[in-house]
Amino acid sequence: MATSVFDRRLNFSFSSSTQSPPPAEGFMPGVSESRFIKNTSEDALNNRELLEFGVLDGETKKMNLFQSINDAMRITLATDETAVIFGEDVAFGGVFRCTLGLTEIFGRDRVFNTPLTEQGIVGFAIGMASMGHTAIAEIQFADYIYPAFDQIVNEAAKYRYRSGGIFNVGGLLIRAPCSAVGHGGHYHSQSPEGYFAHTPGIKIVIPRSPLQAKGLLLASIRDRNPIIFLEPKILYRAAVEYVPMGDYELPLGKAEILKSGKDVTVVGYGSQIYVLENAIRMAEKKISGLSCELIDLRTILPWDVDTVVKSVNKTGRLVIAHEAPQTSGFAAEIATTITENCFLRLESPIQRVCGWDTPFPLVFEKFYVPDVIRCFDAIKEVIEF
């Protein structure tokens, strides 16, 4: 049994000392200044998607991403007797503190450590879910989800279909920290959503902020389909916003227009949203009169085709950005669908700004990721075409 709160492959440790090295999840400058972060309680509650949940009169609390995820899981454990959370080191709070304090409240039979076996963790979760229980499995890093690929793709995704609908694993949710952190190298930086987006039967959700994460996670846990919930780990501490304290959900399969505009549609998800926000700011400053529309996809599978199609039919131009490598990345799927639906409205070729087709490189990270300049340049390209 694992007994360490440290990731086994790297010393992803935390220290409260002021002399401490940078946090495991890195720094993401710019998040705190984002216009999409809810910096006041009023701001947080000014959200039509929350209307039906009765949280608009309730309290809010300033939380970072790991705290809001923790809050969603606390609500789940308190409201669903069958719910359990498990994974490597989760009983101690997990490498990123997402399960902190839950063992103390709910006991070791509901929040527990597993051996280091990802296929075992997911298989175990499928078994629990097949008995009608709610199983929240944590894979310590998305980079380590691949031993469980067979269980996810061949088992969880097909459980309902292959049984003719008599069995299902709707109560299954797999959480995994994903994406770049500044120093994660090959195995602490990956964004594997593309692999799983090719798998009918599962849903994939990637939140961009604490408020979003809580609502999307609660909706994902309660959705009657197996879900992979990828958490951009660079946001765990960097993203802080006011989050409603109550129990609320945000819709799956629904994108959100964060900023409306008339000339270019820009699509992203997760931490990439903040990069795109800055790239748009830069472009709008440098190109006079330019107005860009920014869409956060939120759910990768099934994705909100309508919202993006509507937007591109208005703007005629599309830029898509994600950290995962370009070839067969999810941007390819978006580009094809938009070409099919908006061909006559397109003013320029769709631009993809993605990781290069290389493994995620430690020291070259700055050159690898679709950063502000590359995204800015792509916006410029579609305008100047």
Partner 1 sequence: MVFACRNLWSRKTSLNILNRKITRFCQFTTKTITEEKVKFPGVKESYFTDKMQFIQSVNPIPTYRVMDRQGKVLDPAQEPQVSKEFALKIYKDMITLNIFDLILYEAQRQGRISFYMTNYGEEAYIGSAAGLDSQDVIFGQYREAGVLLYRGFTLDEFMNQCYSNEKDSGKGRQMPVHYGSKKLNFQTISSPLATQIPQASGAAYALKRAGNKNCVMCYFGEGAASEGDFHAALNLAATMRYGIASRGIGYGIDSIRVDGNDVWAVYNVTKAARQLAVEENRPVLIEAMSYRISHHSTSDDSSAYRSKEEVENWMRFDNPIVRLRRWLEDKNWWNGQEEKSFRAFIRKEILTSFSKAEKLQKPSITDLFNDVYDRPTPNIIIQREKLKKLIEKYPNNYPLKNFKNEGEDL
**Residues near partner 1 (CB under 8 A):** 1, 82, 84, 109, 112, 114-115, 117, 119-120, 122-133, 135, 147, 150-151, 154-155, 158-168, 170, 200-201, 203, 224-225, 253, 302, 305-306
Residues in the chain: 385
d(CA 258, CA 146): 33
Outline where 247-315 has alpha helix (H): 272-286, 305-315
CB of residue 19 vs partner 1: minimum separation in angstroms? Answer: 31
The smaller minimum CB distance to partner 1, of residues 28 and 125, is found at 125
d(CA 142, CA 191): 7
CB of residue 8 vs partner 1: minimum separation in angstroms? Answer: 15
The smaller minimum CB distance to partner 1, of residues 155 and 365, is found at 155
Compute, in degrees rounded to 10, the torsion defined by CA atoms 137, 142, 148, 150.
120
Q: Considering only CA atoms, which of 60, 62, 127, 65 is closest in space to residue 97?
A: 65
Give catalytic residue positions.
Answer: 118, 188
CB of residue 249 vs partner 1: minimum separation in angstroms? Answer: 16
CB of residue 381 vs partner 1: minimum separation in angstroms? Answer: 29
d(CA 50, CA 215): 9
Q: Which tokens is 310 given?
A: 């509507």
The smaller minimum CB distance to partner 1, of residues 44 and 218, is found at 218
CB of residue 116 vs partner 1: minimum separation in angstroms? Answer: 9
d(CA 357, CA 372): 19
In 3-state terms, what secondary structure has residue 145?
coil
d(CA 188, CA 144): 9
- Rg of the chain over Cα atoms, rounded to whole angstroms, equals 20
Asked if 157 and 203 touch (Cβ cutoff 8 Å), the reply is: no
CB of residue 222 vs partner 1: minimum separation in angstroms? Answer: 12
Q: Where are the beta strands (DSSP E) in 260-356?
A: 264-268, 292-296, 299-301, 318-325, 351-355
d(CA 329, CA 286): 30
Compute, in degrees rounded to 10, the torsion defined by CA atoms 371, 373, 375, 381.
-160
> How would you write 12-50 as a 3-class SS string?
CCCCCCCCCCCCCCCCCCCCCCCCCCCCCHHHHHCCHHH
CB of residue 304 vs partner 1: minimum separation in angstroms? Answer: 8
Q: What is the DSSP letter of 290?
A: -
The smaller minimum CB distance to partner 1, of residues 14 and 124, is found at 124
